[in-house]
Structure 1
Amino acid sequence: MAKFKGAQWRPIATNYTNGGQTAVRGLVVHIMAGTLAGTDSWFRNPAARASSHFGTGKGGALYQWVDTANRAWAQANGNSSWLSIENEGKGGDSLTSAQMDRIAEVFAWAHKTYGVPLQVASGTSGRGLGYHAMGGSGWGGHTQCPGTRIVKQLPEIVARAKRLTKPAVPKYAPFPGDKFFRSSPRSAVITAMGKRLVAEKCSAYSDGPGPQWTESDRKSYAKWQKKRGFTGADADGWPGKTTWDALKVPRV
């Protein structure tokens, strides 16, 4: 089973192939030429002979109709190696910002789940974020799907997906190294560290020691280390990586 947790799961009982999905090359953007509700209804009709893995509404709704381990019937010869996402609207429309966000979320998930590169696909033999018309006759000859305005929005969707997958900036200061404190440095990080020791009730300074590391600071730090149960070299008043990480000094 491969379902995106950010989508409303609305499985269909017809119009898809159970299994049959090979290595995923990317995500293909389509236009519905209709509404999300209408498309949802149409995909449930055996006469449709069509489906998509995902679909967006102009207001930001996101549906998933077909498990990505299965083959949706969206782009003919491209069904076996591409995921698909339909979008509410008609030819000539641009996607709303909410739709772009939903596509970016699915694309970022495809990147994490299937290793799809975060780029606009160069063609059917490429990988990344593609669009229906790029497949030509082999993908059903839908040369106006999803339309030039939406194709021009693909780089922005890729940029949004990249922001979603960018590692979060740590909120705590990185360990400055074993030798840093032994040189009695002056630094804003020492003030931030002192405030943490005051908060932990292990400093005699009402406003926190610093900005210079002194013997008083070392004693305050040793008091905190022992209070937290550290022993031996981890309780000598000199910050090490283990005790530093435990103190959680804010970034400055």
Structure 2
Amino acid sequence: MNITPVLSPNFTQGRRTYRPEAIVIHVMDGTLKGTDSWFCSALSQVSAHYGIGKNGEVHQYVDEIDTAWHAGRIHDPTWPLIKKTSDGMYINPNYYTIGVEHEGNEQSEWTDAMYATSAELIRKMCQRWSIPADRLHIIGHHEIYSLKNCPGFKVDMDKLIALVNGSTQHVNGQISKTEKFGKVTTLTRLNLRAGPGKVYKITNMVNAGIQLAYDGFTMQGETVNGNGKWFYTEEGNWFWSGGVK
């Protein structure tokens, strides 16, 4: 991955006693070029660690070991992992998060290049800092600051996290599937999900010993215990092949 340094003066050196524990997804509300200019101005008093353009360009504004100024305001947070002091005061999330901006506005559809590049960047950060690649640790800015619709209405966070976890998708955004009908039996209690990975919401649950019919499978789902094969049903549910025989 080619990362272009566009260094911002707006950061705090180090992270006090904290380390990156989550990644906050933002939308720029503008262009990559405009964001470069804004973040590089000391007058703006804002920054993020990275910015991603429509064509998959990556600009780095602040080193990951330092604190960018991207999510310091807090209003009605819904993020369960937000930190507080012993007397109930919020700890500035900037100290323990990494901020990633994306070109566009709250109504923009992300390009395939943005999804792919963002997922690759996030995957590397998760590996580097031992951050779980799940919906609790990869969040939208609005989950900290509810007065903004950041990163927007068109971003598919489940798709992004599935890509972080290794799902491969065609340029039209659809997961590659093989049509093959059959039946299997559940080995244990098994979750049915909206997509081929644990990041997708649970749509149903079946007990051990239940026979399930499937219409096909993908080998490009989330890898669990080294196995990325997931079956899908006529109803659009998915289940992991390791839970059936």
Q: Distance in 1 between matches of 2:23 and 2:3?
A: 15
Percent of pairs with identical residues:
28
Q: Distance in 2 between matches of 1:6 and 1:120?
A: 26
Find the counterpart in structure 1 of residue 105 from structure 2: 90
Give how far 1:74 is off: 0.3
- Structure 2 stretches of 5 or more lacking a match? 73-91, 168-245
Structure 1 residues 8 and 147 mapped into 2: Cα distance closer, same or farther (>3 Å)?
same
Runs of 4+ in 1 over 4 A off after TM superposition: none
Give how far 1:94 is off: 2.1
Tell me the alpha carbon deviations over residues 217-244 of structure 1, each in whole angstroms, 9 at most, x when there is no partner: xxxxxxxxxxxxxxxxxxxxxxxxxxxx
Q: Distance in 2 between matches of 1:148 and 1:88?
A: 14
Find the counterpart in structure 1 of residue 144 from structure 2: 135
More deviation, 154-163/80-89:
154-163
Equivalent pair of 2:53/2:102 in contact (CA under 8 Å): yes
RMSD: 1.8
Give how far 1:6 is off: 4.1
| 1:16 pairs with one of 1, 11, 16 | 11
Q: Distance in 1 between matches of 2:65 and 2:118?
A: 19
Is residue 2:159 matched to residue 1:160?
no
Find the counterpart in structure 2 of residue 178 from structure 1: none
Q: Which has the higher helix share?
A: 1
Give how far 1:117 is off: 0.6
| TM-score, L = length of structure 1 | 0.56
| 2:35 pairs with one of 8, 16, 39 | 39
Q: Distance in 1 between matches of 2:164 and 2:151?
A: 19
Tell me the alpha carbon deviations over residues 129-155 of structure 1, each in whole angstroms, 9 at most, x when there is no partner: 11100013xxxx4421112221xx111
Larger Rg: 1
Equivalent pair of 1:56/1:99 in contact (CA under 8 Å): yes
Equivalent pair of 2:142/2:148 in contact (CA under 8 Å): yes
Give how far 1:9 is off: 2.1
Q: Distance in 1 between matches of 2:13 and 2:60?
A: 15
| TM-score, L = length of structure 2 | 0.57
- Structure 1 stretches of 5 or more lacking a match? 122-127, 165-252
Q: Distance in 2 between matches of 1:120 and 1:97?
A: 20
Give how far 1:79 is off: 0.5
Give how far 1:86 is off: 0.6
Find the counterpart in structure 1 of residue 54 from structure 2: 58
Q: Distance in 2 between matches of 1:130 and 1:118?
A: 10
Match of 1:148, SS state, is coil
Structure 1 residues 142 and 64 mapped into 2: Cα distance closer, same or farther (>3 Å)?
farther
Q: What is the number of residues matched between the two proteins?
A: 148
Match of 2:144, SS state, is helix
Q: Distance in 2 between matches of 1:143 and 1:86?
A: 14
Give how far 1:23 is off: 2.2
